[in-house]
Amino acid sequence: MKLPLYEVFVRSKRGLDHKHVGSLHAKDGAQALKFARDCYTRRGEGLSIWVVRSSDIVASQEEDAASFFDPSDDKPYRHATFYRIPPEVKNL
């Protein structure tokens, strides 16, 4: 029997986002959590773990990145540095 793959996300500190750290095989979510604890947080790296079935993740393809993200490439005006504000004007 092949066990399903789980993606593991660990929150290292309260207030921070859960961050992807890797993946593992397990028979279900509860087991994946235990395995993730043993595998990814042996040195107190985490306060909280999320596990998600890899097959439930919908991902964009990196090969498509050029066309996928291209709508934002020609919009420098979305950045604050695009606007020329005289240096003597503070707090803008």
Partner 1 sequence: MTDDHLSNTEPEAAFQERVDNEIKIEPKDWMPEGYRRNLIRQISQHAHSEVIGMQPEGNWITRAPTLKRKMILLAKVQDEAGHGLYLYSAAETLGVTREDMIGALHEGHAKYASIFNYPTLTWADVGVIGWLVDSAAIVNQISLQRTSYGPYSRAMIRICKEESFHQRQGFEILMPLASGSLEQKAMAQDAMNRWWWPTLMMFGPHDSESVHGAKSMQWKIKRKSNDELRQDFIDQTVPQAEYLGLAIPDPDLKWNEERGHYDFGEIDWDEFRTVVSGNGLCNRERLERHSRAHREGEWVREAMRACEEKKRTA
Beta-bridge partners for 7? 23, 52
- For partner 1, give the closer residue by CB, 27 or 48: 48
Identity of the residue, 42 or 90, whose beta carbon is nearer to partner 1 in the bound complex: 90
Q: Does 58 bind partner 1 (CB under 8 A)?
A: no
Compute the distance between CA of residue 28 and CA of residue 43 in angstroms, rounded to an integer: 24
What's the N-to-C CA distance of the chain in angstroms? 60
The tokens describing 35, both together, are 């395995």
Residue among 15, 56, 66, 87 that touches partner 1 (CB under 8 A): 15
Rule CB under 8 A: say whether 56 interacts with partner 1.
Answer: no
